[in-house]
Structure 1
Amino acid sequence: MEFDFSQIQKLVLDKITATPSPSELIIQDFAVIMIIASIMALISYKLKQPMIMAFILAGMIIGPHTPPFSLITHVEILHVFAEIGIILLLFVIGMEFPIEKLKNIGKKATIIAISEASGTFLAGFTASQLLGFSLFDSLFLALAISVTSTVIIMKVLEELGMVKDEATYLIVGIAVIEDILIISLLAVLQSVGASGGLSIVEVGTSIGLVIAFIVGVIVIGSKIVPRCVDIVGRTNHSELLIIGVLGVAFGLSFIAFKLDISVATGAFFAGVLIAESKMRVATKIIATPIRDMFGALFFISVGALMDIKQLPLFIIPAVILVVVSFAAKFLTVWAASRAQKLGKTTSLRTGIGLSSSGGELALVAAKGGADVGVTSSFVLPMVGAMTVITTFISPYVIKFGWKLTDRIEAKEKTKNP
């Protein structure tokens, strides 16, 4: 019996040249995304740079704005992945902040956090207006530059062996309050943006809705959700546990969305509720890999939406806003710390640590404006560029700042033995 190789060849060619189905294109896109992202992540690891930079650059490589052509066919699928990424990122972040921990943060950290967030927001809004940006562009840019990346700061401080320093504990406490303030303000801005106005009534309604949502979740949810999670956890089936807690995360995100509040807010407070359960450690362990994957997809989607051809148009304003952010954060934290009668060294280190870096929430804030259609097309890539800049310089700023404070402290000890 002879094989008809020409027949086989024809079948293979027909299969290769056939028009791919939508599902095939999605699988193809996903394969391209993961392969490019893994290559960039490996390069970033070898160069000892944060992974967030690798994922943003991977998105820029595969995106539709990078010549000669887009490596993916369904850019809109990235938006879906990005939304899931936002929910999972904020959900896992929320699990770090049980209600009891929030109560124990302390008066000093709360006062400094409020001073820093409000001072940086006002400085950013003023600078954006002076640069000629629109009202909503200025509001969302101001919110984005008010963010501090706790993850990057803690990694650098761990490398320096300064995790148990007084300033480090203070930085963590301030960052917790700041995250809650930023997420709540994002919810307000998105709600106002969706309604299309900035009248006193609209702003008041939006603030009232956000407060009601947060209070309702904490007061009612804390009595129901942790108990339900513990009941599921007692089955000792990890698949039941992860499905249950993700149901809470996406459920609260959906409720927040229907109330014109950021899905990030719903996801964050879902994490806060899960943190109240006895299963919080197990939940975090099994949820983290899922977060890492979709979190990477979120940063990749941000990179894909960055039009590098616009870079010359916004790079100077981006650098200006980075400088404004650094100065406003440092000065407000320094002043508030000294007002709380903290020492010079602790005040300096806290100011340097909190002013050195933006973070993932800055991108969430920028995308929040784009999601409700109130910001210009350049805002997201501009914040992406700012995030890359601050992420790159943050380790050097912290290391230099800590060494500088050591020298100042040594000189003071020499003068006053």
Structure 2
Amino acid sequence: MEMPSLLGAGLVLLLIFWLGFLSLKIKFPNVILYILLGIVLAGALHHNELLHFASEIGIVLLFFLLGLEFNIKRLGGIAKKIWPAGFLDVGLSLGVSMAITYAFGLDLFTSFLIGGVTYATSSSITAKLLDDTSRMANRETEFILALLIFEDLVAPIVVAIIMGMSSGGDFAPIDLAILIGKIVGLALGAIILGKTLFKRFEVLLEKIDDEDFKIALLIGIALAYGGLALYLDLSEVLGAFLAGIMLAEIGKIERVEQTVLPVKDLMLPLFFVYFGTTIEFGDGIPMLGLLLTLIGWGLIAKLLVGIIGGKLYGLSKRVSLRAGLSICSRGEFSVVIAALATGTIKVFSGMYILVAAFIGMLLFERAPNITNLIYGKPKKKKKNLKVPGS
């Protein structure tokens, strides 16, 4: 007798709850546990359309909420300060990884896809670890968060280019020009709509007392713009991100976040579970030599971004090293890009993400100790206490 879809959905949500609770207890990123759950349940859930659709909603809402944090003014301010480190990151983490993959004999498209997988630091894992280890007030945190923002701006474009390249046929320079034109057009559309149609959107939200209507409106905007991106053969991730930017100009984005956040929190774990169901290990780990090479280079690249980029950002050598050791995890964006792969490349990408996330988490937790081992413990500054009347 076949298990009803409703029963299966309920059991998956209960397992997600248990794994989320477990991750808090053992201080382990829940993203990895969700992917492992998907791998274990692959046989039962691989072709589950309900899970696939729910996972799409989760990832769209994640990037919609991310886009809400970036109004045009803020984007400009961050770009002025972080762009040297940001482009260094693109060159080392994406460019060199792509060259290494191509040198191992893979084609240009596959090399670019794997380069995309190795590029972006996990925002969710890094932000969670910063909070869990009480390092939010550290000097390197602003640099880390600015770099994550830069990566979050570049990665959707990488996804869109990969989707365009994977649409079939030869990808000529004119195709790249058309693709960039679509991206620019979609972005300009979001900016124009944000400055015109949604300029007084906050007033409309204040008039809506019923939360049901508000949820339908906001999630409808996110899904519609994400769907428009898909219609243009771009990524729904990019569309959702631009939809967030479109609403970022309103006065109080907290009202939007409070409405959408519970739905995102429910749906997003299903994306990582679904991704896990698409990984098939078959006869073992494919291209082990390339995997080990890219894992090693991925760690070196992020360390260099922290050490060199941190100095360019204005940090000391000690703080720059600590930053580099804290940005080695890969997560949600890598999963998004890996989901576009097929066959052994998807298995390869899945293994890379799991290993890089685990090693990155360990390096993050040990970053202060490693820094002290190299530079010695920082000397505490003596406070000159003035005695009254002296």
**TM score, norm. by length of structure 2:** 0.88
1:405 is aligned to 2:371? yes
5 Å-filtered alignment, 1:15-414, equals: 25-64=4-43, 71-72=44-45, 74-339=47-312, 342-354=315-327, 356-367=328-339, 369-370=340-341, 376-410=342-376
Aligned alpha-carbon RMSD (Å): 2.5
Distance, in Å, in 1 between the alignment partners of 2:117 and 2:45 is 28
Amino acid of the structure 1 residue aligned with 2:71: P
Unaligned runs of 5+ in 1: 1-16, 65-70, 371-375
- Secondary structure of the residue that 2:128 maps to in structure 1? helix
286-295 or 39-48, larger mean C-alpha shift: 39-48
Distance, in Å, in 2 between the alignment partners of 1:413 and 1:254 is 55
Change (3 A) 1:88 1:411: closer
Change (3 A) 1:401 1:182: same
Change (3 A) 1:58 1:160: closer
Amino acid of the structure 1 residue aligned with 2:207: R
- How many percent of aligned residue pairs carry the same amino acid? 24
- Secondary structure of the residue that 2:307 maps to in structure 1? helix
Amino acid of the structure 1 residue aligned with 2:26: L
Is the 8 Å Cα contact of residues 160 and 238 (structure 2) preserved in structure 1? yes
Q: Give the 4+ runs in structure 1 shifted more than 4 A.
A: 407-414
Counterpart residue number, 1:6: none
Corresponding residue pairs, total = 380
Distance, in Å, in 2 between the alignment partners of 1:410 and 1:313 is 41
Shift of residue 190 of structure 1? 1.2
Change (3 A) 1:282 1:316: farther
Amino acid of the structure 2 residue aligned with 1:366: A
77-86 or 143-152, larger mean C-alpha shift: 77-86
218-227 or 178-187, larger mean C-alpha shift: 218-227
Distance, in Å, in 1 between the alignment partners of 2:239 and 2:195 is 14
Shift of residue 108 of structure 1? 2.6
Change (3 A) 1:314 1:301: farther
> What does the per-residue CA deviation read over 1:5-54, in whole Å, with 9 as the maximum and x for residues that have no partner?
xxxxxxxxxxxx7xx6xxx7322332342243334334433322111122
53-62 or 279-288, larger mean C-alpha shift: 279-288
Is the 8 Å Cα contact of residues 45 and 277 (structure 2) preserved in structure 1? no
Unaligned runs of 5+ in 2: 381-390
Amino acid of the structure 1 residue aligned with 2:307: W
Distance, in Å, in 2 between the alignment partners of 1:310 and 1:210 is 39
Distance, in Å, in 2 between the alignment partners of 1:152 and 1:322 is 18
Distance, in Å, in 1 between the alignment partners of 2:232 and 2:120 is 24
Is the 8 Å Cα contact of residues 46 and 274 (structure 2) preserved in structure 1? no
Change (3 A) 1:73 1:331: closer
Change (3 A) 1:43 1:163: closer
Amino acid of the structure 2 residue aligned with 1:320: T
Change (3 A) 1:174 1:198: same
87-96 or 333-342, larger mean C-alpha shift: 333-342
> What does the per-residue CA deviation read over 1:360-402, in whole Å, with 9 as the maximum and x for residues that have no partner?
11111111x34xxxxx312223222222222222232023222
288-297 or 151-160, larger mean C-alpha shift: 151-160
Distance, in Å, in 1 between the alignment partners of 2:243 and 2:282 is 39
Distance, in Å, in 2 between the alignment partners of 1:401 and 1:130 is 32
Counterpart residue number, 1:8: none
Change (3 A) 1:30 1:314: farther
Distance, in Å, in 2 between the alignment partners of 1:407 and 1:197 is 52
